[in-house]
Amino acid sequence: MAIVLIRQDGKLDLWKKAFLDQFPDLPVYSFNEPHPRESISMAIVWKHPEGTLEGYPNLKCITSFGAGVDFIIKDKSRPAGIPITRVVDDALADDMAEYVLTAVLGHLKNMDQYARDQHAAQWQPRPYSRIADHTVGIMGFGTLGSHVGGALSQLGFRVIGWSRHPKSHPGIVVHHGKSGEKEFLSKTSILICLLPLTEETKGILNKSTLNQLCPGAYLINVARGGHLAENELIPLLNSGQLSGACLDVFRQEPLPSDHPFWQHPRIKITPHVASVSDPQSVVPQLVENYRRLENGEALLNQIDSDLGY
């Protein structure tokens, strides 16, 4: 049994080194080097090209390098019936909470506008809002969503959540299903999307959804670009229904240089960096699943491939 690492973002060597630094005897290979394909039992992947997983006759587990698995689910060439697992990591959750807190507080205190004022050499004190003025709504109340919600709640924000199925969290009301969506949206002045990307959630951040938010609401999307109906965002900003948007994820990445989002003054863009898997933190979890696979034990963080999360 052995592991193959598959990713094409320039981080393959970094990850392989992290595996071998911590587990020198581990049989781990990069996909682009000679390796015994018949010995591969676990493939650890990140946004791999479709078809890459073919040709591993003894593959028993497909694992994401991160929390998301949508790119695995949509690969129709992957071997059927193979368990899929993902990363659940405290450092990953902390990173996400820190990013969201930065975005929320920056919005409350007009930091983006002050950056534009500085560029124009303009001294212009502006009104700002306080934590007590807002209700933060988190769409997707799984591991990351509940962690972010807890961090915001500790700062004094009113936090509500929305999930497909009933969830509970101390001090936070979590609405669920279609029946709870309308009330959730109507109370939300800052919307954070942390949903998994599935057939049901594609394009959920559209004008129908966003028009149900409090007037002047702020949008933060740190889930997947496929959640946002991109052509419907700018009209909502121009009308004032949304006061701004912080976007870390996009349908096409890198975001094309001629995309209108780059030029809109009320859109903040970051290059999919809200929460990035740390090899030193994540490798032990991945190796533990490899050990479990070898010994026929239940895998950590296995997802339901029919649900997509």
- Contact between 272 and 253 under an 8 Å Cβ cutoff? The reply is yes
Provide the residue count of the chain.
Answer: 309
* β-bridge partners, 245: 219, 267
- Contact between 104 and 152 under an 8 Å Cβ cutoff? The reply is yes
Retrieve residue 78's tokens: 């992957």
Cis peptide preceding 196, ω within 30 of 0:
no
Cis peptide preceding 260, ω within 30 of 0:
no
Active site residue 35: no
CA dihedral 83, 84, 89, 95 (to 10 degrees): -170
- Contact between 144 and 163 under an 8 Å Cβ cutoff? The reply is no
- Contact between 73 and 308 under an 8 Å Cβ cutoff? The reply is yes
Read off φ and ψ for residue 174, nearest 5 degrees.
Answer: -110, 110
CA distance 134 to 157: 7
CA distance 95 to 274: 7
Q: Which of 264, 272, 291, 292 is catalytic?
A: 272
Q: Which of 224, 227, 259, 264 is catalytic?
A: 224
Q: To 5 degrees, how large is the angle CA 167–CA 97–CA 299?
A: 60
Active site residue 175: no
3-state class of 175 per DSSP?
Answer: strand
Retrieve residue 194's tokens: 């942390």
- Contact between 82 and 62 under an 8 Å Cβ cutoff? The reply is yes
CA distance 249 to 242: 18
Read off φ and ψ for residue 180, nearest 5 degrees.
Answer: -100, -5
Residues serving a catalytic function are 224, 272
